[in-house]
Amino acid sequence: MAQDNPTQLPQVLLLLPNPCFTVLESKASHKFHFLKAWDSPLPQAQFLQSHALSTQVLLSSALGPPITAQLLQLLPSLKLLITLSAGLDHVDFSACPARGVRIANSSPIFAADVADMAVGLFLDVMRKISAANRFVRDGFWVSRGDFDLGTKIGGKRVGIVGLGHIGLQVAKRLEAFDCKILYYSRKEKPYVSYPFYFDVCELAANSDVLVICCALTAQTHHMINKKILLALGREGVIVNVGRGAIIDEREMVQCLVQGEIKGAGLDVFENEPQVPKELFGLGNVVLSPHKAAMTADCFTDLTDLAMANLEAFFSNKPLLSEVMND
């Protein structure tokens, strides 16, 4: 233990090939002893084993190695996993509680930025902003004249799939556009008055746009399939800022190509960075390279939240962003 942690500061193991670590290190290295997997000459498993007994906290990110049941087994003293991401699909979510490991994520930090992007994609598809930009730049305003009209935003029924931190921020923004908010979630939320749908297909049938804000889990994998898209209908638009695999991408592409839904705004894809080529030719689809969560401004808040969670954990106080398995 002494060799592990000569500083006697609380120890935190990092599996985090992430630029925000520089900010965290500069702010917090006088408070915590950081063990950096990437600084070690040992292969990852040996590195973890060499700190197995002394590691209570692991800091990870969606960009780092997956936190599998096998990896957790190498750290029998682990009590807390903090991830610098909103999504948890890199974490074996059921293995953590089974081993008594609590999880804190960073979705409160990312929620506003992700919601801004969801609204941006929605507005772009509806009002054809990217398509109009291409039209003007390609000289078609001069050579062809008129550009297709877009669709009004006010009054549209927005079905939010997953009313967590991100979904709530999307709702708040789109209420200001006079949209009607509906939602699907694992459980009804007693603190909102938006109509709740227990069935995602029914939500789709009653929505003009579906905004996917939920986490990718075994239950949500391919939850949005052809049946749901057909229920959304020919005038329906889909926006995805969750994870690509929540939608059956092949079926969505088919529906878009065949005009069975009206358009899509997509920040995430099933096999990133690969994007189905068919989408490149569709003017009613707006594509973004999984950047909804990340802004140049988010790192300070992200590291502040990680530090606050670390401080809370080591002083036995409630975590600030604990993920509850409900």
Residues that bind ligand O=CC(=O)O (CB under 6 A): 62, 85-87, 110, 293
The verdict on whether 25 is a catalytic residue reads no
Q: Is 33 a catalytic residue?
A: no
Cα separations in angstroms, 71 against 45, 54, 204: 8, 15, 39
CA distance 24 to 279: 39
Minimum CB separation of residue 194 from ligand O=CC(=O)O in Å reads 24
- Whichever of 87 and 276 has its CB closer to ligand O=CC(=O)O, that residue is 87
Catalytic residue among 243, 249, 251, 270: 243
Catalytic residue check, 290: yes
User: Cα 185–188–192 angle (5° rounding)?
Assistant: 105
3-class DSSP state of 256: helix
19 prior amide bond cis, ω within 30: no
C-alpha distance across the termini of the chain, in Å: 36
Angstrom distance (rounded) from CA 256 to CA 280: 12
Beta carbons of 182 and 160 less than 8 angstroms apart: yes
Which listed residue (127, 221, 290, 311) is catalytic? 290
Supply φ then ψ for residue 219, to 5 degrees.
Answer: -75, -30
Q: For ligand O=CC(=O)O, give the closer residue by CB, 83 or 207.
A: 83
Least Å from the CB of residue 264 to ligand O=CC(=O)O: 18
CB of residue 90 to ligand O=CC(=O)O, shortest distance in Å: 9
CB of 171 to ligand O=CC(=O)O, least distance (A): 19
CB closer to ligand O=CC(=O)O, 35 vs 62? 62
- Between residues 213 and 231, which has the closer beta carbon with respect to ligand O=CC(=O)O? 213
Show the CA angle centred on residue 174, arms to residues 170 and 179, nearest 5°. 135
Measured from each CB, the residue nearest to ligand O=CC(=O)O is 87
Neighbours of 15 (CB within 10 A): 24
Task: Give the residue with the Cβ less far from ligand O=CC(=O)O, 110 or 184.
Answer: 110
So which residues are the catalytic ones?
243, 272, 290
